């Protein structure tokens, strides 16, 4: 078992990573239950994993009522938040109880937000079942639902009490989702760790082929990077945590253009967005062109989109920049961009001119 601490003072917690952990989760969770039930919230795609978890909890003497929500982004809604909080209240959940989020980013974000407001805040445990949730969204306490005005606009910072990661659950994850999650793995190399990006270039094939050691290294390294960044800047106030948004501003425009739908998954948009952020940095003379090409080549090599065309986006620069203006990261009339001086040298730039970005996008279109 690898244990990675997220050091946040009174809100500190561990991320535990071990192949097969789902089947032995009951032993790990029983001390948190203190004899109380641990409600599980999951989705319709995860019946087998949920059965494993319930059996493991039962073997450890922990009752676990289950709520199964529809799979998919539309579950991050006011309607499902209401259904979930009503269900948790009907279970008699009290503040010191722990609710288990078993699922990908949608379930983790929804359960995280629901527990941040239920009885003014109760505990939750993340058991992420997608690569994206394992390496990014389950760690760090960002929770949210979507609103008519955009994605993740209603939410709270609410840290889990524990994160349990079983890399074996990825064996049943569709390849497309695995690839989308991999974009966030490569992101940690691009942010500030050129050696890890080189590791990704060397080992991505093994990871996609299911090699347990490659998966363990990718997840462990990513979680350690995320834990370090979150510990340094929990609420994204100093600029450190903002580095995790590499590729997200360009990516947000692509997701908006494709209707935040399965046409372009979030991780796919982040991949194309990272390639565009590096290409833009190179065009501005900030980053060597060879580094931008290396980023695009690696993303292409694993089947991720490396720009507008590969993401299936034909809109012009003005339209895409128009989408960026609705990004929740807008600060007044300024939109901070994550740019790069090279691989592993990402930085936050608040001086980017949006007309220059539009012209760049028209150029690469």
Contact segment (CB under 6 A) with ligand GLY among 77-85, 134-142, 173-181, 312-320 equals 134-142
Beta bridge partners of 144: 155
| Inter-residue contact 295 to 275 (CB < 8 Å) | yes
Of 98, 151, 187, 266, which residue is the catalytic one? 266
Please identify, using beta-carbon distances, which residue of 32 and 348 lies nearer to ligand GLY: 348
DSSP summary character for residue 331:
B
Alpha-helix runs per DSSP H in the chain: 25-33, 47-59, 78-90, 105-117, 131-132, 175-192, 194-208, 212-232, 248-257, 266-283, 289-301, 317-324, 354-364
98 is catalytic: no
Q: Calculate helix-pair angle for 354-364, 317-324, nearest 10 degrees.
A: 130
| Inter-residue contact 346 to 192 (CB < 8 Å) | yes
User: Binding pattern to ligand GLY, positions 240-279, x when CB under 6 A?
Assistant: -x--x-----------------------------------
Smallest gap from Cβ 166 to ligand GLY, in A, equals 21
- CB count in 10 Å sphere of residue 72: 13
Pairwise CA distance, residues 15 & 7, whole Å: 11
For ligand GLY, the binding residue among 16, 142, 266, 323 (CB under 6 A) is 142
Residue with tokens 């300024």: 334
Applying the rule CB under 6 A, the residues between 173 and 192 that interact with ligand GLY are none
| Inter-residue contact 1 to 17 (CB < 8 Å) | yes
> By CB under 6 A, is residue 136 in contact with ligand GLY?
yes
Please identify, using beta-carbon distances, which residue of 180 and 358 lies nearer to ligand GLY: 180
Contact segment (CB under 6 A) with ligand GLY among 74-82, 135-143, 259-267, 328-336 equals 135-143
248 is catalytic: yes
226 is catalytic: yes
> By CB under 6 A, is residue 140 in contact with ligand GLY?
yes
Of 252, 255, 257, 268, which residue is the catalytic one? 252
Instruction: Output phi, psi for 41, to 5 deg.
Output: -115, 130
> By CB under 6 A, is residue 169 in contact with ligand GLY?
no
Q: Closest-CB residue for ligand GLY?
A: 244
Active site residues: 120, 142, 184, 226, 236, 241, 245, 248, 252, 266
Residues at the interface with ligand GLY (CB under 6 A): 136, 140, 142, 241, 244
């Amino acid at each position: 078992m690898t244990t990675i601490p997220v050091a946040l003072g009174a809100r500190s917690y561990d991320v535990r990573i071990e192949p097969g952990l789902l089947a032995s989760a009951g032993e790990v969770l029983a001390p948190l239950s203190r004899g109380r039930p641990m409600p599980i919230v999951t989705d319709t795609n995860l019946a087998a994993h949920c059965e494993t978890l319930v059996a493991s909890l039962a073997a450890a003497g922990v009752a676990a009522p289950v709520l199964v929500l529809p799979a998919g982004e539309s579950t991050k809604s006011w309607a499902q938040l209401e259904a979930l909080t009503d269900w948790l209240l009907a279970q008699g959940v009290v503040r010191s109880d722990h609710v288990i989020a078993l699922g990908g980013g949608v379930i983790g974000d929804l359960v995280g937000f629901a527990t941040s407001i239920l009885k003014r805040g109760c505990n939750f445990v993340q058991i992420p079942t997608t690569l994206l949730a394992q390496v990014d969204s389950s760690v760090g306490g960002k929770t949210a639902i979507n609103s008519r005005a955009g994605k993740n606009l209603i939410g709270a910072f609410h840290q889990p009490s524990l994160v349990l990661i079983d890399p074996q659950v990825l064996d049943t994850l569709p390849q497309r989702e695995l690839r989308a999650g991999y974009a966030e793995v490569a992101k940690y190399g691009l942010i500030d760790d050129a050696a890890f990006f080189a590791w990704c270039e060397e080992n991505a094939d093994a990871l996609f082929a299911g090699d347990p050691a490659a998966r363990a290294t990718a997840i462990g390294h990513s979680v350690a990077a995320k834990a370090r960044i979150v510990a340094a800047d929990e609420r994204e106030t100093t600029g450190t945590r903002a580095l995790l948004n590499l590729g997200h501003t360009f990516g947000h425009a692509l997701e908006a253009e494709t209707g935040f739908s399965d046409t372009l998954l979030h991780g796919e948009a982040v991949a194309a967005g990272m390639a565009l952020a590096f290409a833009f940095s190179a065009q501005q003379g900030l980053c060597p062109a060879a580094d931008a090409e290396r980023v695009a080549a690696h993303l292409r090599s694993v089947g991720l989109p490396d720009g507008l065309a590969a993401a299936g986006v034909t809109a012009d620069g003005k339209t895409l920049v128009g989408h960026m203006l609705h990004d929740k990261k807008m600060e007044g009339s300024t939109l901070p961009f994550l740019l790069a001086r090279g691989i592993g040298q990402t930085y936050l730039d608040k001086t980017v001119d949006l007309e220059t970005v539009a012209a760049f996008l028209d150029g690469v279109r």
